[in-house]
Structure 1
């Protein structure tokens, strides 16, 4: 079995059998590709079924010189998954990555914005420009619903259940969830759909897509990043933010105002509550309030 054959089979496995999103599949394949490039650069000729722990340990040692601990950890995890796939398919009997440990990394707390900072960003949207109404609706949707960028890009008009107060979101692994949407966010999205969205061309394949570019096609991830970065600069915001910052802020503000962690988990589409629990570390001030309100020995 060649590396290219194994890589193609692995990609199909991730897409079809595990049902992972395209971005996740790309990252997994990239991890294995880094190993393949390393073998080529060092003139190491060996198949994926014969590669040894010693060769892989050397690769990990070399990659550690180029990337930070978090990226190194992700690559190791990705390679372990690849070799587990080969075992699953009967190509190997062992995982040569089994004894290779990931570097210890602390949990990175997410960056957040205050409500004032979010208002400043939205206020700096130039609505006199052609795409101003759309850009305002994008920010309101990211913050108002806590969406990932990919979920925002794939949002469809047929996913908007405003009469019921929900939108349907297609998350990682093509899993659908329903997220509540507030009246303000509903109104801003509706204004965009009924006004400026109709002013430009709309491609046939994008007729149901909510957010369109000026050519009438679906927006790209890069365009959303550019919109956010430009607004941060206009607002003179001294923080390194991204579209994902609005999702972090959505969850953090809900938690700070007393929302249940399980409810936040459902709205964010996290499979594990452990992922959601990272927001517990952002602001612990509400924990004292929980004790004083609910613990039977709160008073002396």
Structure 2
């Protein structure tokens, strides 16, 4: 079996058996190709069935000069999964990654925006521009519902259950969840729909997508990044923000307001509570206030 063939088979497995998204699969492919490129550059002819720990250790040493520990850990995790797949399919008896340790990395806390910063970003939107109402609705949806950018651009009119105060979201691995939506967010979605979207010429195949570009097609993830980047520059915001920053802010502000961690987990669509628990570390001063308010020993 050649590397290219193995990567294709593994990609199909990730899509069909694991139900991963196209973006996740591309990331796994990209990391595996790093190893393949290293083997070619080093003139090493070692197929996936027989490659040993020593060669992979040399590869890891080589990439450690180029990528940070967090990226190294991600690449190693991807390689472990790939070789476990080969074992599962009886292509090889062992995993050469078993005794290779991942680099020590600290837990990276997500960047967040304050309520004032969010208001300033939204306030900087030019509502006289044809796409101003759309951009305001986009930011209100990102922050008001805690969506991933991929979930936002995939949101459809048929996913909106505004009378029931919910929207249906298709998350990672096409897993669907219902996310509550507040009146404030619904108001700006309705303004966009009535005053902008209803007057657009929509291209065939895009009739059900909520957020459209000026040509009547689905917005891309890159376009959302660009909208946010320009607004940050406009208000002179020094933080390095992205659409995901609004999701982090959504979760952090809910936690600071006293929301239950399990409820936040459900709204974010995290499979594991440990993923959501990172927000517990964002604002320790809030946790101190919770202890003072609710623990019986602090009253005396």
Please, what TM-score do these two structures have when normalized by structure 1? 0.98
Secondary structure (helix, strand or coil) at the match of 1:101 reads coil
Rounded Cα–Cα distance in structure 2 between residues aligned with 1:96 and 1:283: 40
Rounded Cα–Cα distance in structure 2 between residues aligned with 1:293 and 1:170: 38
Rounded Cα–Cα distance in structure 2 between residues aligned with 1:299 and 1:118: 36
Q: Which residue of 2 aligns with 1:272?
A: 272
Rounded Cα–Cα distance in structure 2 between residues aligned with 1:40 and 1:205: 43
The answer to whether the Cα contact below 8 Å between 1:202 and 1:217 also exists between their aligned partners in 2 is yes
Q: Which residue of 2 aligns with 1:167?
A: 167
For residues 101-122 of structure 1, what are the alpha-carbon distances to aligned partners after superposition, in whole Å with 9 as ceiling and x for unaligned? 1100001111110000000000
Compute the displacement of 1:290 (Å). 2.6
Rounded Cα–Cα distance in structure 1 between residues aligned with 2:237 and 2:298: 41
Q: Which residue of 2 aligns with 1:64?
A: 64
Secondary structure (helix, strand or coil) at the match of 1:163 reads helix
Alignment of 1:138-287 (within 5 A): 138-287=138-287
Secondary structure (helix, strand or coil) at the match of 2:239 reads coil
Q: Which residue of 2 aligns with 1:83?
A: 83
Compute the displacement of 1:198 (Å). 2.1
Compute the displacement of 1:34 (Å). 0.6
Rounded Cα–Cα distance in structure 1 between residues aligned with 2:154 and 2:24: 16
Rounded Cα–Cα distance in structure 1 between residues aligned with 2:294 and 2:126: 46
Secondary structure (helix, strand or coil) at the match of 2:179 reads strand
Secondary structure (helix, strand or coil) at the match of 1:179 reads strand
Cα root mean square deviation, aligned? 0.9
Q: Which residue of 1 aligns with 2:98?
A: 98
Secondary structure (helix, strand or coil) at the match of 1:297 reads helix
For residues 126-166 of structure 1, what are the alpha-carbon distances to aligned partners after superposition, in whole Å with 9 as ceiling and x for unaligned? 11111111111100000000000000011011101111101
The answer to whether the Cα contact below 8 Å between 1:258 and 1:286 also exists between their aligned partners in 2 is no
Please, what TM-score do these two structures have when normalized by structure 2? 0.98
Compute the displacement of 1:193 (Å). 1.2
1:42 aligns with 2:38: no
Rounded Cα–Cα distance in structure 2 between residues aligned with 1:162 and 1:4: 47
Compute the displacement of 1:293 (Å). 3.3
Structure 1's consecutive aligned runs of 4 or more residues displaced over 4 angstroms after TM superposition are none
The answer to whether the Cα contact below 8 Å between 1:133 and 1:192 also exists between their aligned partners in 2 is yes
Secondary structure (helix, strand or coil) at the match of 1:206 reads coil
For residues 183-218 of structure 1, what are the alpha-carbon distances to aligned partners after superposition, in whole Å with 9 as ceiling and x for unaligned? 010010011112201222211211100001111111
Alignment of 1:107-126 (within 5 A): 107-126=107-126
Rounded Cα–Cα distance in structure 1 between residues aligned with 2:142 and 2:191: 16
Rounded Cα–Cα distance in structure 1 between residues aligned with 2:7 and 2:233: 41
The answer to whether the Cα contact below 8 Å between 1:121 and 1:232 also exists between their aligned partners in 2 is yes
Rounded Cα–Cα distance in structure 1 between residues aligned with 2:293 and 2:102: 42
Rounded Cα–Cα distance in structure 1 between residues aligned with 2:287 and 2:110: 19
Q: Which residue of 2 aligns with 1:9?
A: 9
Compute the displacement of 1:57 (Å). 0.4
Compute the displacement of 1:31 (Å). 1.0
Compute the displacement of 1:5 (Å). 1.0
